[in-house]
Chain A
Amino acid sequence: MSCCQTMAVGARSGEAPDIEEERLRAASWASDNDTLESEFHVPGMHCIACVRRIERALSGLPHVSDARANLTNRNVRITWRQREGTARALADAIAGEGFEHAILQNGENAPDQAHETQRQLLLCLAVAGFAAANVMLLSVSVWAGADEATRQLFHLISGLIAIPAAAYAMRPFLSSALAALGNGRLNMDVPITLAVILALGMSSYEALRNGEHAYFDAAVMLLFFLLIGRVLDHAMRERARDAVKLLTGLAAKGAVVLLPEGGQRYVPTDKVRPGERVLVAAGERVPVDGVVRAGASEIDRSVVTGESASVAVDVGAEVEAGTVNLGQPIEIEATKVAAQSFLGEVVQMMEAAEHSKARFVRIADRVAQIYAPAVHILAVAAFIGWLWASGGDWQLAAYTAIAVLIITCPCALGLAVPIVHVVAAGRLFERGLFMKDGSALEKLRQVDTIVFDKTGTLTGGRPDVVASDAAPAERRLAGVLAGHSRHPSAQALARAVAGDPEAHAIRASRVREVAGSGVEAAIGGRRMRLGRRAWVAEIAAASVEATQEPVGLGCDRTSSVWFAEEDGRPVSFAMQDALRPGAREAIDALRRGGLKLEIVSGDVDGPVEEVACELGISTFLANQRPADKIAHLDALRRAGRNVLMVGDGLNDAPALAAANVSMAPSSGSDVGRQAADFVFAGQNLDIIPFCYRMALDADRLVRQNIALAVVYNCIAVPMAMAGLVTPLIAAIAMSGSSVMVVANSMRLKFAARGAASDEAREAERCAAPKGRRILEPGLTAGR
């Protein structure tokens, strides 16, 4: 885990499976037998200096063959030889440069189907663009006044370019239209396909008989603009949610069953029967729910409660599947089969939540439902109208109808929504917020209630040393001792001395960790203990012990860890899981925005009430297991409320899936990140009100764009029906409306600027020394 810990950790957990390493490897994909490719998201990377540092740090590792950073999506792709080193080393190298990082799940960003589609769309766009430009070249010549012979020649050449190009570029629309018609439905692509085909047909006919107007440029330009919208829309597509897969991947693959006649057998987890005795080693996940029958240890119950503070268990204590055994090996007697154990239930809850989510109809789809039939009706009306008015002139009637079809076609509409979402996503990304898809922004707009998890979401997620009465020398010794334990309080202490070079010169010997009590070691010949007060007091100078009071803030959330040398003065360190920076301001801003706020946490009453009081939130629930969180969300939904859930842990994942829209910090669990609609990096909570304001602005702009498109149509359609439209007018109208919509969407770039401008914030982050970022516990600044 860290430089000063590697010795002890390696010695102690020699055979224990390293969950972190397995997790990192499972998230990578193998390009061949010896090589793995891993991709990390590094949100703090935003200039070439950062890129250089990261690439150099990674390439410096002997088992890395290639490391390439992508500044656009802030990912780093590493190719490394898996037998020669660890995935942990990669993560540590990135953290060693001072960057937060999160491994991307294989499939989150690996080349896949969606990437293929994006490429296809880009190629169609390129062809349509090429054709549109060249045909326009010829068309402008015609409009500028060409004599009949030249005009026919140019029309024919335009046709020669436009028809093959349109045939190629039209395929996405054609397949979508045929699919819709095959289902008996009408979608936006049906009138578009119809318009393009009819326009090309009619224009060919006109070109061959030396007619005056040909609509080749209009047809191809229509495809071009619509494909821009498609490409952007696809870039904003919903990325696959593999949260359930991740959850099932967390379950222990197998269990070591102790046979009644002696000996052990390794069985798959789902074959363990109630009543059987299972051995759970240190560092392993408990495979099935059970009761401890032998041994004593500390269990990480964050799966259930979201709290990383370990819980001591002894004979008779119940443990749930999915919790991690931190201390010593224990024997448990299984009480349930794997499918009904805690983790199995959570998986079922998540699947149920994902299936029962009400289908959200995006605004673009709602508009299309009205628009598509309207377009057809208008075209048919024009055809019949002119047929009757001209006394049976098929050609004129068809001509006008096709002109109507082209003019009503929604360039602006195809662009209106994706452009806004792309700009919004870009601005959010600058601030470290990753949006899974455009509909998330639309859903956020509808929200009226926000439910927060406490630990890891409103707070930093792990205890930090807030006060102490120890002298610097004692701090250092305590920190060295702390480095030998995985207990979160110990890790906090180890972090506190991480930057101290003298601490690393100290070596501890005869290290032993006593479950439930603490860590003991000998430094420089003297025995020292770090941990529970009474246990530490055993070796401390007897006279002082009785009068010492723990230093601290005297509230429920503070716990204290004691330290003493043999016959020395006991000192205490107060630990607290502090609120995230900006939490109070963010909560106030959200409340001012008219949103109702709640806290729903797996932690016990005291800390939850304190945090709620500090933030001014009146509604809070404690001791909530994952099933309770879902039940609460359902109750809110039945009351007609629209809920945003913000949570980080495994125990929030079902709630994140069940809420209308959800958000998770990137420092949280993989499962939480996968299940949520938004993922935010960084520690400051002010991103949440910013995101909400962005959702409001985006919604406003989308409605404006749609209004602009409709206004354009209200002018253009009567003109088309009156037969006044020429290809020139069609071209101007289409490009004009598209440009208007794009220009309007750009306003989002300047909307909702915060107090500190984004650039200043970025510059400050880049130049900041490593100590200001989140580091892995105990990592040193130098190497």
Chain B
Amino acid sequence: MSQVVFLIPVALFLGLLGLAAFVWSIKNGQYDDLQGAAERILDDEDGAPPGRRPGQRP
């Protein structure tokens, strides 16, 4: 029983961590282009990643 009392808050905490990560990824715009993200992995070119180019980000 004592283990359960300890484990449940741990489980909840981990769950909250997952939730926070999900919320962050939405706010970071990572869900805006799922198809593009999937395909860019397969690209062989060594282009500079966006954001390191001069000028503003869209």
Chain A residues engaging chain B, CB cutoff 8 angstroms:
31-32, 35, 37, 47-48, 51-52, 55-56, 59, 65-66, 68-73, 77-79, 81, 119, 122-123, 126-127, 130, 133-134, 137, 150, 153, 157, 161
Pair B58/A79 contact, Cβ less than 8 Å:
yes
Q: A122-B26, A123-B26, A126-B23 are in contact. Are A51 and B56 (CB under 8 A)?
A: no
> Which residues of A are found within 8 Å of B39, using beta-carbon distances?
47-48, 51, 71
A157 / chain B contacts, CB cutoff of 8 Å: 8, 12
> C-beta contact mask, B18-43 vs A, less than 8 Å → 1, else 0?
11001100110001111110011011
Q: How far is the CA of A66 from the CA of B48 in the complex (A)?
A: 11
Closest to A52 in B: B45
Q: Give 19 pairs: A residue, B residue, CB < 8 Å, sorted on A.
A: A31-B56, A35-B56, A37-B58, A47-B39, A48-B40, A52-B45, A56-B47, A65-B54, A66-B53, A68-B58, A71-B33, A77-B58, A79-B58, A123-B23, A126-B22, A126-B26, A130-B18, A137-B11, A157-B12
State in angstroms the CA–CA spacing of A153 and B1 once bound together.
Answer: 11
On chain A, the residues within 8 Å of B31 by CB distance are 122
B27 to chain A, nearest CB (A): 8
Which residues on the B side are within 8 Å of A79 (C-beta)?
Answer: 55-58
Contact flag A70-B33 (CB < 8 Å), given A77-B58, A126-B23, A130-B19? yes
Residues of B within 8 A of A127 (CB): 19
Question: Which B residues are in CB contact (< 8 Å) with A51?
Answer: 36, 39-40, 43
Query: Are A70 and B19 touching (Cβ within 8 A)?
Result: no
Bound: A457/B4 CA distance, A? 69
A56-B47, A66-B50 are contacts. A35–B33 as well, Cβ < 8 Å?
no
Cβ of B34 to closest chain A Cβ, rounded Å: 6
Do B47 and A52 touch across chains, with their CB atoms under 8 A apart? yes
Contact A66 B55 (CB under 8 A): yes
Residues of B contacting A133 with CB < 8 Å?
Answer: 15
Bound-complex Cα distance A510 to B2 (A): 97
Bound complex: CA of A619 vs CA of B11, how far in Å?
Answer: 70
Question: Taking CB as reference atom, which chain A residue is nearest B58?
Answer: A77
Q: Which of A48, A56, A66, A150 contacts B42 (CB 8 A)?
A: A48
Q: Is the CB of A119 within 8 A of B56?
A: no
Considering the chains assembled together, what is the distance between the CA atoms of A55 and B50 in angstroms? 10
- Whole-angstrom distance between the Cβ of A90 and the nearest chain B Cβ: 13
- How far apart sit A264 and B27, CA to CA, in the bound complex (Å)? 55
Whole-angstrom CA separation of A292 from B15 in the bound complex: 75
User: Which residues of the other chain, B, contact A69 by a CB distance below 8 angstroms?
Assistant: 36
CB distance from B14 to the nearest CB of A (A): 10
Interface size of B by Cβ–Cβ distance < 8 Å? 32
Query: Nearest chain-B residue to A70 (Cβ)?
Result: B33
| Nearest CB of B to A36, in Å | 11
Docked Cα-Cα span, A313 to B35, in Å, equals 52
Q: Give the nearest-CB partner of A39 in chain B.
A: B58
- Smallest CB gap from A115: residue in B: B32
User: A65 contacts which chain B residues (CB < 8 A)?
Assistant: 53-56
CA distance A73 to B43 in the complex (A): 19
How close is A31's CB to chain B, nearest CB, in angstroms? 6
Cα A126 to Cα B20 with chains together (Å): 9
Determine whether the beta carbon of A72 is less than 8 Å from that of B55. Answer: no
B35 touches A59 (CB 8 A): no
B12 close to A134 (CB less than 8 A)? yes
Chain B residues proximal to chain A, CB less than 8 Å: 1, 4, 8, 11-12, 15-16, 18-19, 22-23, 26-27, 31-36, 39-40, 42-43, 45, 47, 50, 53-58
Which residue of chain B has its CB nearest to the CB of A76?
A: B58
Query: Given A51-B40, A66-B58, A127-B19, list of 15 further CB < 8 A pairs?
Result: A47-B39, A51-B39, A52-B43, A52-B45, A65-B53, A79-B58, A81-B55, A122-B26, A126-B19, A130-B16, A134-B15, A150-B4, A153-B4, A157-B8, A161-B12
**Which residues on the B side are within 8 Å of A73 (C-beta)?**
33
Cα(A37)–Cα(B54), bound, Å: 15
> Please, which residues of chain A bring their CB within 8 A of the CB of B15?
130, 133-134
Give the distance in Å from the alpha carbon of A70 to the alpha carbon of B29 in the complex: 12
B50: chain A residues within 8 A (beta carbon): 66, 68
Chain A residue nearest to B53 in the complex (CB)? A66
Which chain A residue shows the least CB distance to B37? Answer: A71
- A153 CA / B42 CA spacing, docked (Å): 49
Shortest CB distance A65–B (Å):
2
A48 and B42 CA atoms in complex are apart in Å by 8
* Nearest chain A CB to B55 CB, angstrom units: 2
Within the complex, the shortest CB–CB distance from B13 to chain A, in Å, comes to 11
Residue of A nearest to B51 (CB): A66
- Residues of chain A contacted by B4 (CB below 8 angstroms): 150, 153
- Give bound CA distance, A122 to B28, whole Å: 13
Q: Bound state CA distance, A34 and B37, in angstroms? A: 30
Q: Which residues of B contact A119 (CB under 8 A)?
A: 26-27
B8 contact set on A, CB distance < 8 A: 157
Instruction: Report A-chain residues with C-beta under 8 Å of the C-beta of B32.
Output: 70, 72
A35 touches B55 (CB 8 A): yes
Is A71 a contact partner of B26 (Cβ separation < 8 A)? no
Shortest CB distance A72–B (Å): 4
Q: Is the CB of A66 within 8 A of B19?
A: no
- Nearest Cβ in chain B — how far from A470, in angstroms? 44
- A-B CB proximity, top 5 nearest: A65-B55, A71-B36, A48-B39, A71-B35, A77-B58
A474 CB, min distance to chain B CBs, angstroms: 44
Set of chain B residues within 8 Å of A150, measured between Cβ atoms: 1, 4
Chain A residue at smallest Cβ distance from B16? A130
Across-interface contacts of B11 in A (CB, < 8 A): 134, 137
**B residues near A134, Cβ cutoff 8 Å:** 11-12, 15
Smallest beta-carbon distance B11→chain A, Å:
7
Residue of A nearest to B25 (CB): A126
Question: B39: shortest Cβ distance to chain A, in Å?
Answer: 4
- CB neighbours (8 Å) of B36 from chain A are 51, 69-72
| Cα A32 to Cα B57 with chains together (Å) | 12
- Kindly state the separation between the CA atoms of A123 and B22 in the bound complex, as whole angstroms: 9
Whole-angstrom distance between the alpha carbons of A130 and B15 in the complex? 7
Please report the C-alpha to C-alpha distance between residue A150 and residue B16 in the assembled complex, in whole angstroms.
23
Specify the chain B residue showing the minimal Cβ separation from A134: B15
Of all chain B residues, which has the CB nearest A126? B22
Q: Which of B23, B53, B57 contacts A59 (CB 8 A)?
A: B53
The answer for the CA separation of A69 and B31 in the assembled complex, in Å, is 14
Identify the closest chain B residue to A47 (Cβ): B39
The interface residues of chain A lying within 8 Å CB-to-CB of B58 are 37, 66, 68, 77-79
Residues of chain A contacted by B53 (CB below 8 angstroms): 59, 65-66
Complex formed: what's the CA distance from A59 to B45 in Å?
Answer: 15
Q: Smallest CB–CB gap between B21 and chain A, Å?
A: 10
Q: Give the CA-CA distance A52 to B18 in the complex, in Å.
A: 33
Known contacts being A59-B53, A65-B53, A134-B12, is A72 close to B33, with CB within 8 Å? yes
Q: How far is the CA of A587 from the CA of B13 in the complex (A)?
A: 61
- Considering the chains assembled together, what is the distance between the CA atoms of A72 and B39 in angstroms? 11
Residues of A with C-beta under 8 A to B47: 52, 55-56
